[in-house]
Structures are given as structure tokens and as C-alpha cells.
Amino acid sequence: MRQVAGIARRLHHKLGDPRQANSFSSKRRAVRFAELTRRFPDLAAMRVLDLGGVPDFWRSAPVRPSFVTTMNLDKYEPPEPWLEHVVADACGLGSLDACRGDYDLVVSNSLIEHVGGYQRRRDFADVVRAAAPSHWVQTPDRYFPVEPHYVAPGFQFLPLRTRARLVSRWPLAHERVHTVEEAVEQILTIDLISTTELAHLFPASDIWHERLLGFSKSIVAVRTG
């Protein structure tokens, strides 16, 4: 069992850890960032609000905007004058009061599927539109064959109880759980959405598909102003 667990940890490290430069996750992030800069060639001169983001993402980004505010529920202490962090709910319009306004672009990567239900996703979309004239909102595609959080084929289509039983034993889960009830709690924080829903939430936006082996891996609502 220890040998299996060790292999699983190494596989997760290679596939799913975005902090590792050579991981699969990092390489896919680089593909998306290249598309971001293609869509927004003036990114270096823009003021960016990153909903759900963390300061380290922008410290290591290939292009550094003129100013960035990252917002999520965790606390960070960015020391750079070009970078601030706000602890707030990205689904509340009132959270924008804590930010230095006049943003050119809202960026959000893999957050909307975690905010908690359709109404919360609608509220999130309202915040995105209120914050800036342009946006880039990315989320994993619900219909990609491999569920990204657990690196498990078809996992998102199984009944909740079945998923919970699998997660409590699955070695590639992004966060370890020890009971079925803990697994249920974890699974319910993830609600992958489809292209149809993303287009419904952002009707004035273009939907870009990040493809892998012909499948749509991620979907992005893009508006360039």
C-alpha cells in the first residue's frame, strides 16, 4: 500500500501540481496564458482584478500588468506596490468597495465552479461585469472526459454517493479525505459547468475552448471591451 501511495503522490506531482514548472497542469496553464495575452496584447499596461487569484500567480506570470488586485477568501501579504490582495467574497458587489477601482480587465481562473450553486454563479457574473469592461473567466469543461480535481475518468457523471466512496480510496484526489462523509463535503464544493451555462451567464462574451486531444478541456468567457 505504501508503494501504491508513493506512486500516486509522484503521479499527482507530475500531472496536477501547478507549482511545478514541468507538471501537466503548469503546461496547460501556459497555453491558456498565451491565449490571454493574444486576446489582450496590452496586458502589461492594464489594471487587472483577479477574482479567486493569488499573488504568486502574477509574480511568476510571463507578462506583468501595471497593477493587479487579487481577491479571495484567504489572506496573503503581497509586498509589491503594483500588487494588492483583498480578502473578500467574489460573488458580492460590495466586495468591490475594498478594491482600488477603475480596472481594465477581470481575470478569473477555475473559481466559478467553486462558488456554490447557480444563483451564486449569477452573482459572480454580475461582479465580473461591474468591475471592468473586459474579462477572462476560465473554468474546466464539465464534459471533458477526465474530471480535473480528481484526475478520474468520468468521475463527474457518477452518483454523489458513488463518487464519495471512490474519493475516500482514490489516490489522486487533490485533497485527502478519510471518510465517506468528508468526501461528500469535499465533492459538493465543486460544480463543473458546461459551455451552455457559461454562455448563458456571459451572453455578450466569446467562448474560447482550450482543447486537448480534440476534447474541450477548459472553457473561457472572453470579452475584450
Task: Cite the residue boundaries of each domain of the chain with CATH code 3.40.50.150.
Answer: 2-143+191-224
Return the pLDDT at 17: 53
Return the pLDDT at 25: 65
Return the pLDDT at 69: 97
Please give the Cα distance from 146 to 156 (Å, whole number).
Answer: 8
Cell 506512486 appears where? 7
Residue burial 77-90, b: 16+ Cβ < 10 Å; e: rest: ebeeeebbbbebbb
- Mind listing the pLDDT tens digit of every residue in the chain (225 residues)? 444 344 344 544 444 555 555 666 677 788 899 999 999 999 999 999 999 999 999 999 999 999 999 999 999 987 789 999 999 999 999 999 999 879 999 999 999 999 999 999 999 999 999 999 999 999 999 999 999 999 999 999 999 999 999 988 888 776 778 889 999 999 999 999 999 999 999 999 999 999 999 999 999 999 998
Cβ neighbours, 10 Å, residue 49? 27
Return the pLDDT at 52: 97
Please return the burial class of 182, using the count of CB atoms within 10 Å of its CB with bins 0-12, 13-18 and 19+. middle
Please give the Cα distance from 221 to 99 (Å, whole number).
Answer: 23
Pairing of strands 146-147, 152-153: antiparallel
Return the pLDDT at 177: 84
Please give the Cα distance from 146 to 136 (Å, whole number).
Answer: 23
Please return the burial class of 37, using the count of CB atoms within 10 Å of its CB with bins 0-12, 13-18 and 19+. middle
Return the pLDDT at 170: 84
Q: Is the domain defined by 2-143+191-224 classed in CATH 3.40.50.300? A: no
Please give the Cα distance from 45 to 66 (Å, whole number).
Answer: 5
Position 204, amino acid: A
In three-state secondary structure terms, 216 is: strand
Return the pLDDT at 7: 38
* Residues in Cβ contact with 17 at an 8 Å cutoff, skipping those fewer than 6 apart: 23, 25, 26
Please give the Cα distance from 91 to 124 (Å, whole number).
Answer: 4
